[in-house]
Amino acid sequence: MSEADSGGMAPHPVKLTPKLKEQLNGVATATLTMVLQQKGIRSTFFSGLKPTNPQKRMLGYALTLRYVPMREDLRAELGGGVNAQRRAIEGVGPDEVIVIEARYKPDAGTCGDIFATRAMRRGATGLVTDGALRDDPGVSEIDWPVYRQAAHAATLSRRHLPLETNVPVTCAEVLVMPGDIIVGDAEGAMVVPAALVEEVAEKAAEIELRETWALERVNAGESSIGVFPVSDERMPEYEAWKAARDREQ
């Protein structure tokens, strides 16, 4: 077994400091996606995946898990015993999110309530799968964020073999590298490249602040023109509002 497939904690190429966590938890996935698009990175949002608990935020390092199509002659070798799925569940650590590549297949479960509960108890901060979730009602009752494409009662062996962990995966047509940062909110989940997360988080926090000011102005009856985005003429007004807000906090 290779080191990449030995389970255990995902690599952490950047530290999720308290400041970084506050910034990322305070901005929408829509804002983070926009910032990355402005940098030319267009495919970061997991399209078609919905949360089991929309009220729960998700943030953590990606621990990746790759499934391949079922081939019955390899089922015992790859799917039995302490396979890659179980190594991910038993190896995941605090502040990590399990991200499963299941080839966008909606007709076989990729995880269920027992494994989800085990990962949560180990300190994992969420799970993302582009396949189906088994025991979906039970998982939805867990106070923990999970994003999935569909619900399906069949076990993973109907479609999948769990092959390896901590390798690059494609989840919902998005490339995820081990240790990338995964963010989720009520709208959905996305990946932020680890090397860019500090820059992206800071810019996203500033954009959200500008949008808060713009929303206040629009709610007060003003036109969106000049306030969203903030025009050069209105920038001094925004800066004064921002300074006053900082003094109050």
Q: Where are the alpha helices (DSSP H) in the chain?
A: 18-25, 29-38, 84-91, 113-121, 136-141, 197-219, 235-248
User: What pLDDT was estimated at residue 239?
Assistant: 96
User: At 199, is the secondary structure helix, strand, or coil?
Assistant: helix
User: What pLDDT was estimated at residue 11?
Assistant: 87
Of 67, 41, 42, whose CA–CA distance to 171 is shortest? 67
Complete domains list, the chain, with CATH: 3-194 (3.50.30.40), 200-248 (no CATH)
The pTM of the full predicted model, rounded to 2 decimals, is: 0.93
User: What pLDDT was estimated at residue 6?
Assistant: 45
User: What pLDDT was estimated at residue 9?
Assistant: 72
User: What pLDDT was estimated at residue 197?
Assistant: 98
Distance from C-alpha of 20 to C-alpha of 26, rounded to nearest angstrom: 10
User: What pLDDT was estimated at residue 8?
Assistant: 53
Residues of the chain with pLDDT under 50: 1-7
User: What pLDDT was estimated at residue 200?
Assistant: 98
How distant is the alpha carbon of residue 182 from its chain centre?
3
Of 136, 137, 135, 142, whose CA–CA distance to 121 is shortest? 142
> How many other CB atoms are there within 10 angstroms of residue 234's CB atom?
19
Of 85, 98, 78, 80, whose CA–CA distance to 9 is shortest? 98
User: What pLDDT was estimated at residue 1?
Assistant: 37
